[in-house]
Chains A and B, each alone.
Chain A
């Protein structure tokens, strides 16, 4: 399987912070994740991030996870906003949060660690 360069870089950087992941469908970096804050703190999910080929120049568009935790609501804003999962294997029981990292270009460290800090903050906003 050809692996997207960005996905490989993201997976390597996750490993450096102690997160073991695998790459599926060339661009999807999957790993087990325990929610650290907010309403779902302590919940275990399978997380998948679709990583652009030119990461870290361009960040992922948001996070996908399974199982679904919130009702689908595409018209609300964060933290209630939730879309059907975009991961090819999790469409039946997954969820997608379209949450672009709006300040990525001004981040000093454009890496998976910085992105995961953003993800932690997203979960923490769900109260």
Chain B
């Protein structure tokens, strides 16, 4: 693994914060269980269950330590449900940003790393909570050259209606390129945004514009997934595509990659491209490496897979769609587009109506690629509707990029809505925040990571 990370829901974060922030300002600690979430290049621990200390199970003396009774209780709980790893979380009351290991913390965590690994077959996860800012820093303990060694996380992610990311090391912006952007929203937000790894599934009319916008905003780590080639019919909407791309039968991801490299405003651009679809294993695994995923697709199977990733692996997804309708006299009646953001506490793409589970299986069986079957469908069926104009794609992509900024924002007045719908030409705008229905499958798999079989 090249990178390590930690993810937790904002609800879990609140539980940690409530326990660790003490009125007397002393240090404190707690244990937790984590679930592995394994991407192609990133191993994450999803904090799933907090094990708060009972009275007498830790000793507060300026520093803090735990008793063997507490650790024994954690072991007993693990034996009852052994597929999880163990995390030890403590606070540095005066900590501000990412906390490096102090000598005492190093000794304490290293001393238990071997026992935890022997029991769980998973590395001990050490977490430090910075008392001043609430930033979380973390490391997994693995054996290297015969010694238990900390493998520091690249970042930690608190996922809810906002995405709060702490990074160990930040790539600095080149202010010559991004001066106006940083002037607009400040360096703190900008640093968080540009250091995220962003997945884009679908590099067509909307995805190509999203990629261009992100590159110019300073984002420089991308995972691009699309199996389609540029065709003549795409040229009226797919930004940066040319007639030559059609003749050369270039893949959409290849065109988008070259465009990002040309437009990027941050150095050290990293782009992983997959000329396949999201249901292919490598593409799927690389998306689990991402901090945010844009879903710029129009079929139910791909949407259901990114929806699964969003909830099982706690990675927010920004999805969009455009629907044009015409009058009988062959003129445009309206164009409606919507942006939908998924994360814990918000409705998933299935519950909000972006796809139907029954259609997912139809696509898996090949029905939605069968011209005879598609011919038989009603004219308003989604599989037959491809009408679009670049101005609608530009509007939708712009709204998706704003939703992306809002995720990181926590700006005053930041919208927590999980959908925004716009109608043209009436300019009717609707926004709101829905939750999943109480029986939604995705609520049951929230943060289950590798414990739940992937839908591919």
Report how far A100 CA is from B367 CA in the complex, Å.
12
Taking CB atoms, residues of chain A closer than 8 Å to B453 are 5, 53-54
Cβ–Cβ contact A61 & B365, under 8 A: yes
Given contacts A5-B453, A105-B439, A105-B440, whether A59 and B376 have CB atoms under 8 Å apart is no
Interface of A is mostly: loop
Taking CB atoms, residues of chain B closer than 8 Å to A77 are 378
Task: Indicate whether B437 reaches chain A with its CB closer than 8 angstroms.
Answer: yes
Taking CB atoms, residues of chain A closer than 8 Å to B376 are 74-75, 83
User: In A45-76, which residues have CB < 8 Å from any B CB?
Assistant: 50, 52-54, 56-62, 74-75
Cβ–Cβ contact A83 & B365, under 8 A: no
Task: Indicate whether B362 reaches chain A with its CB closer than 8 angstroms.
Answer: yes
Task: Indicate whether B360 reaches chain A with its CB closer than 8 angstroms.
Answer: yes
Partner of A50, one of B365, B373, B375: B365
Report how far A54 CA is from B356 CA in the complex, Å.
15
Task: Indicate whether B351 reaches chain A with its CB closer than 8 angstroms.
Answer: yes
Task: Indicate whether A2 reaches chain B with its CB closer than 8 angstroms.
Answer: no
Among A18-26, A29-37, A106-114, A119-127, the stretch that binds chain B is A106-114
User: In B351-384, which residues have CB < 8 Å from any A CB?
Assistant: 351, 356-362, 364-365, 367, 372-373, 375-376, 378
**Number of contacting residues on A, CB 8 A?**
28
Task: Indicate whether A104 reaches chain B with its CB closer than 8 angstroms.
Answer: yes
Cβ–Cβ contact A61 & B361, under 8 A: yes
Cβ–Cβ contact B455 & A57, under 8 A: yes
Which chain A residue has the least Cβ–Cβ distance from B366?
Answer: A86
Cβ–Cβ contact B440 & A106, under 8 A: yes
Cβ–Cβ contact B359 & A74, under 8 A: no
Report how far A117 CA is from B208 CA in the complex, Å.
44
Report how far A99 CA is from B357 CA in the complex, Å.
11
Cβ–Cβ contact B357 & A100, under 8 A: yes
Task: Indicate whether A15 reaches chain B with its CB closer than 8 angstroms.
Answer: no
Task: Indicate whether B295 reaches chain A with its CB closer than 8 angstroms.
Answer: no
Taking CB atoms, residues of chain A closer than 8 Å to B360 are 52, 58
Taking CB atoms, residues of chain A closer than 8 Å to B362 are 61-62, 98, 100
Residues of A within 8 A of B (CB): 5, 50, 52-54, 56-62, 74-75, 77, 83, 86, 98-102, 104-108, 110
